[in-house]
Amino acid sequence: MEVKNDHVLIQSNVEINNKPYILSLTRTQLTWEPTSIETGRSSTISEQLAKQKVHVQDMREVIGVHPVKPPSKPSRGFKKSYNSKHDSPMFIELHPIGPLAFAVSMVTNTSKPRWRCKMINFLCTDTYLCQQWIDKIKEVLAIPAFNRPRRLLVFINPLAGNKKAEKIYREKVQPFFEIAEIHVDVIVTERANHARDTVQSGYDLRTVDGLVCVGGDGIFTELLNGLLTRTNTEAGMEQTLDHDPISPDLRIGIIPAGSTDCIVYTTTGVADPATSALHIIIGDSIGIDVCSVYHGDYFQRYCVSMLGYGYFGDLLKESENNRWMGKLRYDWSGLKKIFANRAYEGEIEFRESPDSKSRPTDGVRCFIGCSVCQAAGDRKSQDSIQIRTAAPALFTISQEDLVQNSSDGWQTIRGRFCSIKCLTLSCACSLSDKGLAPNCHLGDGCSDLVLVRECSRFNFFRFLLSTNKPELNQFDLDFVEVYRVKEFRFRPISSEESDSDTALNRKSRHKKLRPQRSSLWNCDGEVLENPVVNARVHCQLVRLFARGRPTLERSNENHSCCVACEKGEM
């Protein structure tokens, strides 16, 4: 986002905490500096700024502005100008009706994962000036380049996490939306798939600038599936294996109130409702990859976090049977499945990422401004321009696909697997900061495919432990393989199936195959009934109100701020 034209729109004397300042506004910055400190001629600009405690506030990080009551005891300098009638018996009648002071709310700590908001009161010399300030600041916040949402459709899952989603929204999010003057339409869901169905059909999405869910990863994937299906249906695009889905115009925001909240953690660096609300208000935007899953040519679901077979599929199935146990059901089911130690025979075919520099074991983590995701985003825009100009009829198939299909590029692995995981994002969460796929990128157009070959109970436990402990690396284990893939297909192999039938046509085999013993796919927490799947990754298909995780170094930086700012933190 680039906002040009940085001339001063308004400038005047104001007071902050009874001290005089000069306040200036441009289209990018709000600046205030004390009027009482002299500028030394010999010093550099940065030295002067430091000496004068000039505070420069990026307008992108301003949440809103509103009139406030002036302090009961204004300072001497200001008393004369705006309180000159106080000595007169006519004071009550002549006291101005308009505001004399305004408050600007802004984000702090943006270099850290957890954001906060602070409010600074500016006292003006007269009401006309105060109103001018309010109007000008609102004008700047509304400039299209900031891309802020004005109207939102909010879904609250009252049963998410520990059933506090409604309270979290009312107490930690709604006050910020009010300051930012965002109009919200709130729907408290009444059943599973209520949010998906509302978005998919029925609601006039032209009346909103974004969708927000308050809950866990489950309600987010409902919104994502509803929005993508709606967008593609309205565009007349079939959801079949050989069509690239179209990106929706609306962004999605996630207010974490679920049990794990790994999507919000991976895209903002923290699972914190206030931080998420602030990302939404300031109009942050990041494109994330989405994996579309098919059975043969039939569309099943869109998946953003994990598509897991074997252990993770069995765990989900088992935990569904034990819902009465609450959150504990995951631990119980996980333990049972470790002891069961099942391995499933299958054949997996995949097409690796053409970018040989980016590998799932390269140790390159995805942080804000990630160069791998940026390069993928640039490639995606170039591809779509070329395809549009060269051959409109081929618009649904990307350039890369055409090249890859012509030279095949598929690899096949057959074997017995305890677990197969396809991760489209790292799945970091507060319990495991590195996530299930530590080097997976949010928007590189690829997923990390992790294959855990048949192994002992003890080794499988080691594998699970290594996905959690920062000092351990799951890819050091010799029964674990990882590939960065653009797409893959999987089919279980039944015990009767002999090696001699490998020459059979794959498609017809998929239809006829009825494996005796297979697992299920866990697709973002939903069970897929048929174990035969095809999956494709779509680069940055959906945009979220987020900007990625801050780097560890930036997270540890101290935030410098002027004295006035340190007061009034919300």
By the criterion CB under 6 A, which residues form the site for ligand ATP?
A: 157-161, 189-194, 215-219, 222, 258-261, 525
CB of 159 to ligand ATP, least distance (A): 5
Nearer to ligand ATP, 79 or 163 (CB): 163
CB of 5 to ligand ATP, least distance (A): 43
Q: What does the alpha-carbon distance between residue 447 and residue 516 come to, in Å, rounded to a whole number?
A: 29
Torsion from C-alpha of 79, 80, 86, 89, nearest 10 degrees: 170
CB of 183 to ligand ATP, least distance (A): 23
CB of 224 to ligand ATP, least distance (A): 12
CA distances from 66 to 103, 110, 131, 141, 252 (A): 5, 22, 10, 13, 27
DSSP class of 471: T
Q: What does the alpha-carbon distance between residue 460 and residue 419 come to, in Å, rounded to a whole number?
A: 9
Q: What does the alpha-carbon distance between residue 354 and residue 371 come to, in Å, rounded to a whole number?
A: 16
CB of 198 to ligand ATP, least distance (A): 11
Nearer to ligand ATP, 134 or 520 (CB): 520
Which amino acid is it at 93? E
Which amino acid is it at 143? I
> Phi and psi at residue 538, in whole multiples of 5°?
-115, 120
Nearer to ligand ATP, 260 or 474 (CB): 260
CB of 223 to ligand ATP, least distance (A): 10
SS3 116: strand
Residue that is written with structure tokens 């004369």 in the block: 80
444 is catalytic: no
Q: Which two tokens stand for residue 177?
A: 């939306």
H-helix or E-strand spanning residue 401:
helix 399-406
Q: Which residue is nearest to ligand ATP (CB)?
A: 216
Residue among 209, 217, 401, 448 flagged as catalytic: 217
> Phi and psi at residue 446, in whole multiples of 5°?
-135, 160
SS3 259: coil
Q: What does the alpha-carbon distance between residue 347 and residue 185 come to, in Å, rounded to a whole number?
A: 47
Nearer to ligand ATP, 387 or 428 (CB): 428
Nearer to ligand ATP, 192 or 477 (CB): 192
Nearer to ligand ATP, 57 or 157 (CB): 157
Active site residues: 217
